[in-house]
Amino acid sequence: MTQQAIGARARSDAGARLYVGTAYLVAALIFVGFAPSYYLKGLINAPPPLSALTMAHGVMFTAWTLLFVVQASLIGAGRPRLHRQLGMAGAMLFGGMVVLGLSTAITAAQLGHVPPASPEPLRFMALPVMGMIALAFLVGLALTLRARRDHHQRLMLAAFIMIAQPAIGRMFVPAGVPEWQAMGSFLVVEAILAAVIVLDWRDQRRVHPAWLVSAGTLAAMHVLVAWAFTGPALWMDFAAWLTRSA
Q: What is the pLDDT of residues 106-159, one digit of tens each?
A: 999 999 988 888 899 999 999 999 999 999 999 999 999 989 989 999 999 999
Burial 166-188 (b: 16+ CB within 10 A, else e): bbbbbbbbeeeebebbbebbbeb
Residue type at 188?
V
Angle at 234 between CA 231 and CA 239, to 5 degrees: 75
Mean pLDDT of the chain: 89
Low-confidence winner among 2-6, 81-85, 186-190, 231-235 (lowest mean pLDDT): 2-6
Peptide bond into 119 cis (omega under 30): no
Rg (CA), the chain: 19
Q: What pLDDT, on the 0 to 100 scale, is given for residue 10?
A: 45
User: Taking the chain, what is the end-to-end CA distance rounded to the nearest angstrom?
Assistant: 60
Dmax (CA) for the chain in angstroms is 64
The pTM of this model reads 0.89
